[in-house]
Structure 1
Amino acid sequence: MTLLPGPIDPPTRLLMGPGPISAYPSVLTAMSAQLVGQYDPFMTGAMAETQELYRRIWATRNDATLLIDGTSRAGIEAAMISLVRPGDRVLVPVFGRFGHLLAEIAERAMAEVHTIEVPWGQVFTPAAIEEAIVRVRPHLLGLVQGDTSTTMLQPLDEIGAICDRHGVLFYSDATASLGGNPFEADAWGLDAATAGLQKCLGGPSGSAPITLSERAVEIIRSRKKIEAGIREPGDEDAPDFVRSNYFDLGMILDYWGPRRLNHHTEATSMLYGARECARVLLGEGRDAVIERHVLHGEAMLAGVRGLGLVVFGDVAHKMSNVVAVEIPEGVAGDAARQAMLEDFGIEIGTSFGPLHGRVWRIGTMGYNARKDAVLTTLAALEQVLRRFGAKVPAGGGVEAALDVYAGAR
């Protein structure tokens, strides 16, 4: 007889990597709430409440503000496949791994994709982006705001006006940045933006907030709708045919809108979690949460420098919520990360592509953007570094972080 595994019982971890992070306790509690039917008045009321909460987080008046059921990548794919017709030109400025992801998803949407690149650790100037827009003449500009692979934060405040001058749709992936860094969807001229819960919003991966301008909605509504079982010959070849049922934003908008047309069964527990993420953030205050991320990010930055570690990239354009540090020469990076996890229950991140094995990424975001998490991580990192042969100042990380906190009083 095969024995069944016991109930799920994960170990206690302090998730101090680039995401996912430890969720707010109240988010986990909300996700355990009783299920109701998808058209129960409580459910449709919770959906409407969640829409309004995320309008405030995105800083938008967009009616089309809702959730895509799936990870943050689901939000990216829904935006790309619904806004881009086959053959449309898409421009993606790449400054890290997730720019490459936007380009790949646009290619899968059958776009003609053009990229420009800067070295990892840098960001683009508005002039460089405008020069590429003039040269490429894209239908859509896809730009990551915060790329955790490099920890860089791309300034967006001038890009919307550039796109507007040239008649270009402006889409941003704010997965890693929303909630811990400023984001002004309306003031910056965004046509579409998507995110995830598992970074600064302090929840689990599995729900993707999205907001769409009226111009974006018009384009989505103009796409050919194919009702289940009523496809006509040639539909598959029509450029207006959205080549996904699940990620067809036209259908999803009808589901979230007043008509409540059936599209899928909403992920109820994820909706509860996303609603609570927004409620917690707005209860503390949107600006206050951003300031909290800045404070604890500065403390972590000072702390790793206090341990003698070299910070990667252009620090002037670093996200508030994650820092990348060069792994000291002679230290086995993966083994040291494993020691952090096994001996202290703390997870920090490795990296991708040209930075793999070269840097660690340490996050201070969401529920973990707090003093005790920062100090505990720095104290543990000091011990692990010393054990792996690095010469580090005794107490240097914690003391440097405490100096930041003392100065903030």
Structure 2
Amino acid sequence: MSDFFGEINPPQRLLMGPGPVNAHPRVLRAMSADLLGQFDPEMTAYMNEVMALYRGVFQTQNRWTFLIDGTARAGIEAALVSLIEPGSKVLIVRSGRFGLLLTEIAERLGAAYSTVDAPWGEVVPMARIREAALDYRPHVIACVHGDTSTTMAQPLEGLGELCREIGALSYVDATATLGGMAVEADKWGADIVTGGLQKCMGGPSGSAPITISDRAAEFIFSRRHTEKGIRTTDAEDGDRARIGSNYFDLAMIMDYWSDKRLNHHTEATTMLYGARECARLVLAEGLETRFERHAKAGAAMAAGARAMGLSVYGDDRYRMTNVTGIHIPAGLDDAAVRRRMREDFEIEIGTAFGPLQGKIWRIGAMGYNAMKHKVLITLGALEACLRAEGFAVTGSGVDAALEVFNG
């Protein structure tokens, strides 16, 4: 019988959108290694290495630093389902699509919640978060560090101090910034921070790094019990609501990543190999060097866009270094430009969501793609596509970007 579909052979496309981006070749090579059994001593040694590596990536001393098997959203859901009991009061910081996602998950978990909001393209000042928290007295404060829907990075200094003052736990979604901007779990005092591989970490989607403070772990373990006594909690807090998910029950997953190695699921071996190599690459490059590389690539992208006569979206003071929003000029066909980029140059750039749909392009330069030549190629291609669609380009984006890189 003939092979109806044929072997997978995707185009060699340059992914310069808000994520996913092209994976580093070393990550792909690591993922081709042979599988091991989940309790093989070599496999559990790799698990321990992953925990140590990601402590460096998250800039934390947290013992509970490991992987959730699933996309970045699996990490988000695991954190929230394990922190939020039915009726818990949650304060959600929102200024983009992914703050709205936190709201939806909180609603599904039966939480009571309040929000502190900023218009898309802005951030919420910590003073406003503090005011809302002191008024609402939440059990959990949840926020997004870098929201790719708006390209803004939320300042988080003082979050942990505020939470300890009011007796709350904190959650930070750092999917879009981990490995590209400073994610300082200990400095922030954040109780749970989650990330993903498919953006600044330079890997494929499918594994969600997570770090959990001791105080958050203590709370989560206090929810570890069953009615029939099959699994019991070490804590005396037997009135805590049972975590409402089996797969995303962080108490059970932590037992799996502990020395006890209590079976919870079959570890995604290939993804663990990839996540391990992502972290090795980040730490070998050096965090500050890597952050500077992303910052320079993002600055070059913005300078190039402005040189061509385009305007950059959002507040420069809070822009993520790895994703740049660019206003789509009036009268220009958004889809036509992106189609030309893809079909003529094999480059993907991103459109937008919600109130920004059809109003901005989102161009990423992160992970393996936060490189001089890839930024220059993207700007050159964008200029050609803009001219082809009738936009009067005012200057050379490539020359402006080169000034940033060479300055």
TM-score by length of 1: 0.96
The residue number in structure 2 matching 1:260 is: 261
Q: Is the 8 A contact 1:86 1:239 kept in 2?
A: no
The Cα offsets for residues 196-235 of structure 1, whole Å up to 9 and x where unpaired, read as 0011000000000000000000011000433999599xxx
What secondary structure does 1:115 align onto?
strand
The residue number in structure 2 matching 1:250 is: 251
The residue number in structure 2 matching 1:325 is: 326
Q: In the alignment, residue 290 of structure 1 is paired with which amino acid?
A: F
What secondary structure does 1:376 align onto?
helix
Q: Is the 8 A contact 2:294 2:370 kept in 1?
A: yes
Q: Separation in 1 of the partners of 2:100 and 2:347?
A: 29
The residue number in structure 2 matching 1:235 is: none
Q: Is the 8 A contact 1:255 1:261 kept in 2?
A: yes
The runs of at least 4 aligned residues of structure 1 exceeding 4 Å deviation read: 227-232
Structure-to-structure mapping, 1:218-237, within 5 angstroms: 218-226=218-226, 230=230
Q: Is the 8 A contact 2:225 2:231 kept in 1?
A: no
Count of paired positions: 402
What secondary structure does 2:185 align onto?
coil
The residue number in structure 2 matching 1:87 is: 87
Alignment pair present for 1:400 and 2:400: yes
Q: Separation in 2 of the partners of 1:296 and 1:314?
A: 18
**What value does the CA root-mean-square deviation take over the aligned residues?**
1.7
The residue number in structure 2 matching 1:103 is: 103
Q: Is the 8 A contact 2:222 2:240 kept in 1?
A: no
Q: In the alignment, residue 8 of structure 1 is paired with which amino acid?
A: I
Q: In the alignment, residue 64 of structure 2 is paired with which amino acid?
A: A
Alignment pair present for 1:68 and 2:68: yes
Q: Is the 8 A contact 2:328 2:334 kept in 1?
A: yes
The residue number in structure 2 matching 1:118 is: 118
Distance apart, 1:334 and its partner CA: 1.3
The residue number in structure 2 matching 1:6 is: 6
Structure-to-structure mapping, 1:1-400, within 5 angstroms: 3-226=3-226, 230=230, 240-394=241-395, 396-400=396-400
Q: Separation in 2 of the partners of 1:249 and 1:4?
A: 43
What secondary structure does 1:360 align onto?
strand
What secondary structure does 1:155 align onto?
coil
What secondary structure does 1:172 align onto?
strand
The Cα offsets for residues 340-388 of structure 1, whole Å up to 9 and x where unpaired, read as 0111000000000000000000001000000010000000000000111
Q: In the alignment, residue 52 of structure 1 is paired with which amino acid?
A: A
What secondary structure does 1:208 align onto?
strand
Distance apart, 1:324 and its partner CA: 0.2
Q: Separation in 1 of the partners of 2:229 and 2:375?
A: 55
Q: Is the 8 A contact 2:255 2:261 kept in 1?
A: yes
C-alpha change, 1:36 and 1:224, in structure 2 (3 Å) is: closer
Q: Is the 8 A contact 2:176 2:195 kept in 1?
A: yes
Q: Is the 8 A contact 1:330 1:389 kept in 2?
A: no
Q: Separation in 2 of the partners of 1:166 and 1:92?
A: 15
C-alpha change, 1:357 and 1:137, in structure 2 (3 Å) is: same
Q: Separation in 1 of the partners of 2:224 and 2:213?
A: 19
Mark the runs of 5 or more structure 1 residues left unpaired by the alignment.
233-237
Q: Separation in 1 of the partners of 2:4 and 2:266?
A: 30
Q: In the alignment, residue 134 of structure 2 is paired with which amino acid?
A: V
Q: Separation in 1 of the partners of 2:29 and 2:181?
A: 26
Q: Is the 8 A contact 1:385 1:392 kept in 2?
A: yes
Q: In the alignment, residue 94 of structure 2 is paired with which amino acid?
A: V
Q: In the alignment, residue 26 of structure 1 is paired with which amino acid?
A: R
Q: Separation in 2 of the partners of 1:217 and 1:406?
A: 47
Q: Separation in 2 of the partners of 1:74 and 1:40?
A: 25
What secondary structure does 1:186 align onto?
helix
Identity level (%): 58
Q: Separation in 2 of the partners of 1:44 and 1:287?
A: 30
Q: Separation in 2 of the partners of 1:282 and 1:107?
A: 38
What secondary structure does 2:101 align onto?
helix
What secondary structure does 1:32 align onto?
coil
Q: Is the 8 A contact 2:341 2:382 kept in 1?
A: yes
Q: Separation in 2 of the partners of 1:134 and 1:269?
A: 45
Mark the runs of 5 or more structure 2 residues left unpaired by the alignment.
233-238
The Cα offsets for residues 118-165 of structure 1, whole Å up to 9 and x where unpaired, read as 110000111100011011110000010000000000011122212222
The Cα offsets for residues 275-327 of structure 1, whole Å up to 9 and x where unpaired, read as 00000110111111111101111111101111111111111100010100000
Q: Separation in 1 of the partners of 2:56 and 2:75?
A: 19
Which one is further off, 375-384 or 103-112?
A: 103-112
